């Protein structure tokens, strides 16, 4: 299922658009959940300056349908030579590095996750150091672990993850900070919580239940969660995730006191999200949602992650704030998914 153009425009409109700048941006992993939205957002923001030419989408696949009208190149992000060629050919000055294998997928193929996630980070930062580029490369709450404080987890704390995804993201954070100090790379990162989107299918993460629930609710009126009923995790709606990315990329460097920031929206459990979805369905004249719980291997991963994040540094340094709470997320997800699932 591909996101409709109207969906992309709607998400883009939800993000405050700062003054366009003349950056030439290369996005790795552009075919992923966040990448698809971010490519089109940057194209819209840079349209007055020639947006199509200023944004280069890349991924390992041949040109996906959603990028038919975009500048697109096939790229294995671990191929540093090919990455450098694209940077030179398109006069790139900013890399948005999204290519990564997520938590659940990474646990099924840990060696592949290590190769892609570690190798991609090294290739991007090496090219950035050589060419003097800015790098935005998001991290994740998977970078934390069972010894991390789980409530209002701070930016600076114990980080001993138990997944390959988390291990490689800690490596990304530390390597980015090192390249900033050693080679002057302008490295910026946010630790994303679970990200919900109505425009893209789940991408192999431990928080995917929070997207799957809407599809099953509308298709069958029932959902069985692969996490237990009371597993609280921090979450964020896609428009807020996009805002966090573009705002940090554009923030004046002198305002930043660190390279990696926590960002978050709301925290909820499968039981709480199910209740909110059920309430919205009843209000729309439908039967209440039937919830079930059958935890699988992802439960052990979720049990090592924060229940909530402290993102006060991001709010103070570059004005970060979220706009979507649980009710707003549920309302918007159902509003956009229902007509699409009916084929309208």
Please give the positions annotated as active site.
Answer: 165
Rounded to whole angstroms, how far apart are CA atoms 338 and 68? Answer: 26
Q: Per residue, what are the HEC states of the chain?
A: CCCCHHHHHHHHHCCCCCCCCCCCEEEECCCCHHHHHHHHHHHHHCHHHCHHHHEEEEECCCCCHHHCCCEEEECCCCCHHHHHHHHHHCCCCEEEECCCCCHHHHHHCHHHHHHHHHHHHHHHHHHHHHHCCEEECCEEHHHCCCCCCCCCECCCCCCCCCCHHHHHHHHHHHHHHHHHHHHCCEEEEEEECEEECCCCCCCCCCCCHHHHHHHHHHHCCEEEECCCCCCCEEEEEHHHHHHHHHHHHHCCHHHCCCCEEECCCEEECHHHHHHHHHHHHHHCCCCCCEEEECCCHHHHHHCCCCCCECCHHHHHHHCCCCCCCHHHHHHHHHHHHHHHHCCC
């Amino acid at each position: 299922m591909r996101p409709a153009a109207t969906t992309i425009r709607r998400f883009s409109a939800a993000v405050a658009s700062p003054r366009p700048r003349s950056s030439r941006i290369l996005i790795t992993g552009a075919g992923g959940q966040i990448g698809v939205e971010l490519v089109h957002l940057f194209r819209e923001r840079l349209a007055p300056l020639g947006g199509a030419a200023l944004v280069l989408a890349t991924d390992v696949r041949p040109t996906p349908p959603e990028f038919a009208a975009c500048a697109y190149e096939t790229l294995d992000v671990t191929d540093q030579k090919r990455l450098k060629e694209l940077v030179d050919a398109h006069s790139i000055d900013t890399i948005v590095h999204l290519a990564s294998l997520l938590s659940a997928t990474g646990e099924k193929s840990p060696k592949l996750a290590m190769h892609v996630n570690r190798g991609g980070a090294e290739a991007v930062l090496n090219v950035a150091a050589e060419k003097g580029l800015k790098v935005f490369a998001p991290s994740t709450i998977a970078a934390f672990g069972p010894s991390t404080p789980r409530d209002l987890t701070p930016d600076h704390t114990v980080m001993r993850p138990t997944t390959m995804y988390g291990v490689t993201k800690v490596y990304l954070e530390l390597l980015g900070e090192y390249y900033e100090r050693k080679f002057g790379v302008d490295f910026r990162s946010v630790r994303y919580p679970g990200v919900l989107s109505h425009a893209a299918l789940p991408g192999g993460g431990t928080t995917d239940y929070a997207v799957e629930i809407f599809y099953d609710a509308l298709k069958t009126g029932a959902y069985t969660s692969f996490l237990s009923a009371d597993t609280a995790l921090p979450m964020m709606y896609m428009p807020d995730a996009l805002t966090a990315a573009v705002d940090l990329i554009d923030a004046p460097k002198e305002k930043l006191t660190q390279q990696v920031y926590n960002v978050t929206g709301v925290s909820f459990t499968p039981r709480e999200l199910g209740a909110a979805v059920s309430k919205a369905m009843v209000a729309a004249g439908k039967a209440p949602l039937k919830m079930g719980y059958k935890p699988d291997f992802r439960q052990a991963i979720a049990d090592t992650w924060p229940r909530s994040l402290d993102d006060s540094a991001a709010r103070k340094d570059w004005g970060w704030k979220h706009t979507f709470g649980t009710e707003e997320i549920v309302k918007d997800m159902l509003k956009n998914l229902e007509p699409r699932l009916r084929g309208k």
